[in-house]
């Protein structure tokens, strides 16, 4: 990706394949896009960091799918972070938000301690992880759900693919606030399905396992600092990790911070409400104020505006 003659290392999905083992993967790097998304919300640090990881992860998983629509990653739990949503369109538009309880968060992540620990059991609690692919009204929605099992979001994803897809999947995630703002990264490795004759020259089962363990170990050797380093070219990082087994990259896909909310959509939601529901939403002066959970855009409908929509 080239902008004004400068190669940018950010806001992209970099797909790759490891030649020797026929493993595929994606490296997602987010800089300005995630800084904008997280900056809009001013979440406490553990919430921001976990949502940042979820955003990078959603993009990395979506990058491995052929779809035309919206890929959504969602967590729900009984802990401090009741819900996280991260979604990405096939065009690379990314957005996300989190719902959390301040009191529970203060107990789960006392000040100062939070920086080191992004524990799913501690921050999200017991709950589930869901992935949805929505390709529009005329197609069937795909949804996969598993219980949250694992210490980190990466562990939960590994468990998800083991349970539901039986495709070996390993992820390494990082998110942090740097001198250049929030940054996040996801490195995902996946075995390719063996059915359908895709792997004509696939290694045998034992070799396959060996390659897998080796690739996962190499991936594990990457540090959060490397993953988040704005000056380290993503391809350079992939080469550093996997060059002995031959790593090949495909064209990167750009990602951007963009919400899909529109005034039209908000208005059709308002029109679908019953008069009682609408009355409940009115603030003191009779106006209805709708704030997008994703991008924090505030839309205010005063009495005249409601009247114009036929909603007075
Ligand atoms: Zn929005």
pLDDT for 244-278, tens place per residue? 989 999 999 999 999 999 999 999 999 999 989 99
SS3 assignment, position 17:
strand
Distance 285 CA to ligand 1 centre (A): 24
Distance 309 CA to ligand 1 centre (A): 20
Distance 225 CA to ligand 1 centre (A): 31
Q: How far is residue 296's CA from residue 298's CA, in Å, rounded to a whole number?
A: 6
Match 């959603």 to its residue by tokens: 58
Distance 136 CA to ligand 1 centre (A): 19
Distance 200 CA to ligand 1 centre (A): 45
Distance 96 CA to ligand 1 centre (A): 9
Distance 85 CA to ligand 1 centre (A): 13
Distance 301 CA to ligand 1 centre (A): 16
Tell which residue, 55, 129, 56, has the closest CA to residue 97. 55
59: left (phi over 0), alpha (psi -120 to 50) or beta: alpha
CA distances, 213 to each of 26, 95, 219, 221, 223 (Å): 17, 33, 10, 12, 18
- 6-7 and 2-3 beta bridge pairing: antiparallel
Distance 13 CA to ligand 1 centre (A): 23
**φ, ψ for residue 150 (rounded to 5)?**
140, 160
Q: Averaged over 150-171, what is the pLDDT?
A: 89
Q: How far is residue 205's CA from residue 218's CA, in Å, rounded to a whole number?
A: 20
pLDDT for 206-236, tens place per residue? 888 899 999 999 999 999 999 999 999 999 9
pLDDT of residue 113: 58
DSSP string, 99-158: EE-HHHHHHHS-TTTTTT---HHHHT-SEEEEEEEE--TTSPPEEEEEE--SSSHHHHHH
């Amino acid at each position: 990706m080239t902008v004004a003659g400068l190669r940018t290392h950010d806001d992209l999905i970099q797909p790759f394949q490891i030649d020797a083992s026929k493993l595929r993967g994606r490296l997602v790097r987010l800089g300005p896009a995630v800084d904008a998304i997280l900056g809009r919300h001013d979440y406490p640090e553990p919430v921001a960091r976990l949502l940042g990881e979820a955003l990078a992860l959603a993009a990395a998983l979506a990058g491995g799918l052929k779809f035309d629509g919206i890929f959504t990653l969602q967590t729900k739990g009984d802990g401090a972070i009741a819900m996280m949503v991260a979604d990405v369109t096939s065009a690379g538009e990314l957005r996300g938000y989190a719902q959390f309880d301040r009191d529970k968060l203060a107990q789960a992540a006392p000040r100062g301690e939070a920086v080191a620990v992004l524990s799913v059991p501690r921050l999200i609690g017991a709950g589930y992880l869901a992935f949805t692919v929505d390709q529009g009204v005329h197609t069937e929605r795909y949804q996969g759900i598993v219980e949250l099992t694992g210490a980190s979001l990466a562990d939960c994803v590994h468990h998800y693919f083991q349970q539901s897809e039986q495709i070996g999947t390993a992820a390494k995630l990082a998110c942090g606030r740097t001198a250049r703002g929030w940054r996040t990264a996801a490195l995902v490795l996946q075995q390719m399905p063996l059915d359908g004759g895709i792997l004509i020259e696939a290694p045998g089962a034992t070799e396959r396992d060996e390659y897998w363990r080796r690739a996962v170990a190499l991936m594990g050797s990457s540090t959060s600092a490397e993953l988040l380093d704005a000056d380290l070219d993503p391809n350079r990082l992939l080469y550093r990790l996997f060059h002995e087994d031959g790593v090949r990259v495909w064209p990167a896909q750009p990602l951007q911070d963009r919400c899909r909310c529109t005034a039209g959509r908000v208005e059709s939601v308002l029109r679908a409400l019953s008069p009682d529901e609408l009355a409940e939403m009115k603030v003191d002066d009779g106006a209805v104020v709708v704030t997008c959970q994703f991008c924090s855009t505030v839309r205010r409908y005063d009495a005249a505006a409601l009247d114009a929509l036929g909603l007075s």
